[in-house]
Amino acid sequence: MADPAQLNVGVLISGSGSNLQALIDRMEDGSVPARIALVISNQPNAFGLERARRAGIPACVIHHRDFADRESFEQAMIIALEEAGVELVCLAGFMRVLTPCFIRAFHGRLLNIHPALLPAFPGLHVQQRAIEAGVRFSGATVHFVTEEVDAGPIVAQAVVPILENDTSETLAARILKQEHRIYPLAVALYAQKRLRIEGQRVRILNPTENPAACLIAPNPPAA
């Protein structure tokens, strides 16, 4: 039986769905007080659909190619999400840019995960671009979605070093591991009503902070 006190989450995917899996796992073990009411994939062969099926979560395909334009595609998703009683929508590897129509329908209730430390490296191919830019750190960002792509208020970030011999694949894999930690964390904070959007900033109520936290790359010699 669904617990009416739990937040109803909808997850939009296009592919592997490893972030979806991380959300499923942390909801199952009780660390995220929410439930996934619906998974939507715009790709019929997305492996994430299989993950939803295995977890007994309702899932459907809404294929963008079946619609005349982006608005009608998004309208179909809005209807499905509303019918499922979804309160928060999580984009998890969803590879379609959303129009203001969808974004306004879920204003303040729409999260995305991006494999870079925003506002650096918005857009695509971000691991390769971070390597080529020579930065020592990259990471992952969970943010609220606004009409400007990859520019909404930031909820959570994880930092990973870029290693000497990294390729975009090895860096992406290292970042993905951290994505699986911060997406559930962000959804838990949302579900606990601990996030307050103030302009571009997200305030966290009752934060646990470590003022001594610091990362240096390359590693300094041990003292």
Catalytic residue numbers, as ranges: 114
The helix (run of H) or strand (run of E) holding residue 145 is none
CB of 3 to ligand GRF, least distance (A): 25
Residue 184 touches ligand GRF, criterion: CB under 6 A: no
- Considering only the stretches 8-16, 81-89, 144-152, 186-194, report the one whose residues sit in contact with ligand GRF under the rule CB under 6 A: 8-16
- Considering only the stretches 26-34, 76-84, 107-115, 202-210, report the one whose residues sit in contact with ligand GRF under the rule CB under 6 A: 107-115
CA 19 – CA 90 distance, rounded (Å): 10
40: its two tokens: 């939507």
Considering only 24, 113, 156, 158, the residue that binds ligand GRF (CB under 6 A) is: 113
**Measured torsion, CA atoms of residues 73, 85, 30, 48, in degrees rounded to the nearest 10:** -20
Q: Pick from 63, 20, 18: which is nearest to 38 by CA?
A: 20
Considering only 10, 93, 152, 153, the residue that binds ligand GRF (CB under 6 A) is: 93
CA 153 – CA 148 distance, rounded (Å): 11
- ∠ CA 157-58-81, nearest 5°, is 65
Per CB under 6 A, contacts with ligand GRF among 130-169 are none
- Considering only the stretches 9-17, 66-74, 194-202, 210-218, report the one whose residues sit in contact with ligand GRF under the rule CB under 6 A: 9-17
> Binding residues for ligand GRF, per CB under 6 A?
13, 15-19, 92-93, 113-115, 176, 179
